[in-house]
Amino acid sequence: MTTNDSKDGELMARLAGGDMSALGELAHRHQGRVLELAFRTLRSWDLAEDVAQETFLRLHRAAKRYKPTAKFTTWLYRIVVNLSLDAQRKRAKAGASLEPELYEQLPASDPNTTEKEEMAALVKTAVQALPERQRMAVILHRYNGLNHAEISQTTGWSQSAVESLLVRAYANLRGKLAKMKNLLD
Amino acid sequence: MEHINDIELQEYVSGTLPEAKAQQFRRHIDGCDACKNRYRDTANLWNALGQWSVDPSGHEIADRIEALAAESQSNRKAGRTKIIPFTRSIPMAIRVAAAIILAIWGGHRLGEYGQSPSTPDVPFSKEGPRYVAALGFEWSSELTWTVLDEETSPGEVNP
């Protein structure tokens, strides 16, 4: 267990004992990664903030049941992933488009944007155009630094399913990025 | 060593492999052109994806959480308790038991007024059987239709 994990475990123990200041400390330590994960999934800061807030409230409710057997962040991300997917499905039910047409989102070519900015916009568009599960696997792997086993624990999908999702997702991304770059050039 | 498969290559590029395994792959890639090319492709894609950065500053929720936590702590210290709706404060088992007792008592009362010859006289009419009146209900045309099928003859209803 790393120093970070033991610090998180200690904060969770304090929270379980009724020390509410531990919840604030946990929120300060992890809000960045929680917000990023929720935003990359939901593409809306308002929804990401709601998900992040609810995540920490759930952490509080579950503090007494928490056992530091797995990495704290894996457990935390599991809450964020579930809440984000729920929010995404609710939004889909409400009629908002979740899979906008890839080429509708292509950044307008602007002579002032640098190649780096253009690439960032292309990547964002390509990731957002992936199917839900592939997108989640890539976000957790590429942007949250989880390995295949940790993604499996976080999402509840089998490790072989995660690996197959990642292989397909990266192949898709390679194809989409090449296509978009050709369209823009 | 066999060629490195796509899954292993992803783990290698993402830096999540154990050091011993990573070293083994490094040696293989150095001596295998096919894997070297695939490694280059995978690493390029990995680096390209890294261009999408997200800045959550300005969206922090920790202060809100901290304020909520402090409020909850001070409420607890002040001894304020959460108001729980009355029905929620009764355990489910007691609620179920109460429902069963009420159902049995209701059934018993209905049977008593429907069959017992010692039932006290209560005002009723041909249109309104006495158990209905005994239960304190007013006779209505809807009840007529409900009860009509069960009445065998006017004599039985109105002895």
Domain boundaries, chain B: 6-46, 118-159
Determine whether A40 is exposed, middle or buried from the number of CB atoms within 10 Å of its CB (0-12, 13-18, 19+). Answer: buried
Whether the Cβ atoms of residue B130 and residue B158 lie closer than 8 Å to each other = no
Question: Is it the case that residue A74 has pLDDT exceeding 80?
Answer: yes
- Give the residue on A whose Cα is nearest the Cα of B59: A49
Q: What crossing angle do the helices spanning A72-93 and A148-155 adopt, rounded to 10°?
A: 60
Q: Which helix (H) or strand (E) holds B41?
A: helix B33-49
Is A114 within 8 Å of chain B by CB? no
Under a CB-based contact definition with an 8 Å cutoff, are residues A168 and A134 in contact? yes
Which pLDDT belongs to residue B12?
93
Q: Mark which residues 58-97 of B lie under 8 Å from A by CB.
A: 59-62, 64-66, 68-70, 72-73, 76
**Cross-chain Cβ contact B69/A60 below 8 Å:** yes
Q: What is the CATH number of domain A1-98?
A: 1.10.1740.10
A35–B7 C-beta distance less than 8 A: no
Mean pLDDT of chain A: 86
Task: Classify domain A100-185 by CATH number.
Answer: 1.10.10.10
Quick check: helix, strand or coil at residue B89? Answer: helix
Count of positions (residues) in chain B: 159
Which amino acid, one-letter code, is at A1? M
Q: How far apart are CA A92 and CA A89, in angstroms?
A: 5
**Straight-line distance from the first to the last Cα atom of chain B, in angstroms, rounded to the nearest whole number:** 102
Average pLDDT over residues B63-86: 71
B45 and A177: CB-CB below 8 Å?
yes
Between A66-75, A91-100, B13-22, the lowest mean confidence (pLDDT) is in: A91-100
Percentage of residues of chain A with pLDDT beyond 90: 58
Inter-chain touch A27–B11, beta carbons under 8 Å: no
- Quickly state the pLDDT bin for A91 (edges 50, 70, 90): confident
- Per CB-CB distance under 8 Å, the chain A contacts of B16 are 145, 147-148
Longest alpha-carbon distance in chain A: 60
Percent helix, strand, coil in chain B (nearest 5)? 65, 0, 35
Q: The complex's ipTM?
A: 0.82
Residue at B157: amino acid letter? V
d(CA A111, CA A107): 12
pLDDT at residue A100 in the model: 46
Contacts of B59 in chain A (CB under 8 A): 35, 39, 45, 48-49
Helix (H) or strand (E) holding B24: helix B19-31
Given CB atoms, is B51 within the 8 Å cutoff of chain A?
A: yes
pLDDT of B83 over the 50 cut:
no
Contact in structure between B54 and A40 (CB atoms under 8 Å):
yes
Identify the band that residue B137 occupies on the pLDDT scale cut at 50, 70 and 90.
Answer: low
Hey, is the C-beta of B112 within 8 angstroms of any chain A C-beta? no
DSSP 3-state of A112: coil
Query: Which residue from B45, B52, B65 is facing A23, i.e. has the nearest CB?
Result: B65
Question: DSSP label at A69?
Answer: T
Q: Where in chain A is the domain with CATH 1.10.1740.10?
A: 1-98
Give the nearest chain B residue to A26 (CA atoms). Answer: B62
Alpha-carbon distance A2 to nearest alpha carbon in chain B (angstroms): 15
What is the reported pLDDT for B38? 93
- Per-residue pLDDT tens digits for A39-49: 999 999 999 99
Inter-chain residue contact A31 with B6, CB threshold 8 Å? no
